[in-house]
Amino acid sequence: MESGYFTEESSADVVIARNSNAKDARLSQVIAVLVRHLHAAVKEIEPTTEEWLTAVKFLTDTGHTCTDWRQEFILLSDVLGVSMLVDAINNRRPNGASESTVLGPFHIADAPELPMGADICLDAKGEPMLVRGRILDTAGNPIASAKIDVWQANDEGFYDVQQKGIQPDFNLRGVFRTGPDGCYWFRGVKPKYYPIPDDGPVGKLLGALGRHPYRPAHLHYMIDAPGFQSLVTHIFDPDDPYITSDAVFGVKASLMAKFNWTTADKTIAEAGFSSPFHLVEHDFVLAPA
């Protein structure tokens, strides 16, 4: 190290010292951490030159797969658990508050606000579902005027934005607002599991790792209320075939909600259906802002 020249032993220190003139202290810190871990990983892996070139080619292919409408590096972050880790770090909540999970790419900002109880399924496809629950604070009190933005895939595992011209615009999306009792309820259809895009480099990597590309069936929620932290999360069907192997690691034990197939005539009538339906019940607890 006395010369400051590169050696295998001093490699990370030499690189980090070179960055000491960075104007932005945060950038300098981030790069130092990345360089230290990257060099440590390379020393542990001891890649051949060919393996290093394979990594270069993989990153290049991943970049070339990115377009205005496809983000292959986010997919890579997702399948390596990095997206969920960043989500976890940025959404630490007090005990008892509902846990977050990834936003995903299918949220849209201008979904219509609907009266409580509305059916967000606009094309009558799939098995009917009623979802209901309460929005609560950590003391168990109902939260009024909470804005509940929900979106979901259809019975074939596609979001409306993936099937423009096939599904109606704003199909299976809606915004609801709670009253003083904090209750919410809406109708939809049972969503299906679906694959993340797996025809690119990330899909090939998943295949080589012996992994499937599927996400278990889920409903998306973005819940906002004055005085509380925003909550972006899903609830999952615990009986989904992929519930223990979500390709993007989005499942948390606290985010399960049974899809109860309900056949009793009285319950069907009370829920406003004319045939059996899935009843899904889940409360959300918001953390104080």
| Rounded least distance, CB 184 to a second copy, Å | 25
Closest distance of CB 269 from a second copy, Å: 37
Comparing CB distances to a second copy, the nearer of 87 and 240 is: 87
The CB-of-215 to a second copy minimum distance in angstroms stands at 13
Q: 7 or 263: whose CB is closer to a second copy?
A: 7
Tell me how far, at minimum, the Cβ of 103 lies from a second copy, in Å.
9
Of the pair 23, 266, the CB lying nearest a second copy is at: 23
Amino acid of residue 10:
S
Q: Which CB, 88 or 118, lies closer to a second copy? A: 88
CB of 14 or CB of 161, closer to a second copy: 14
Closest approach of Cβ 162 to a second copy, in Å? Answer: 21
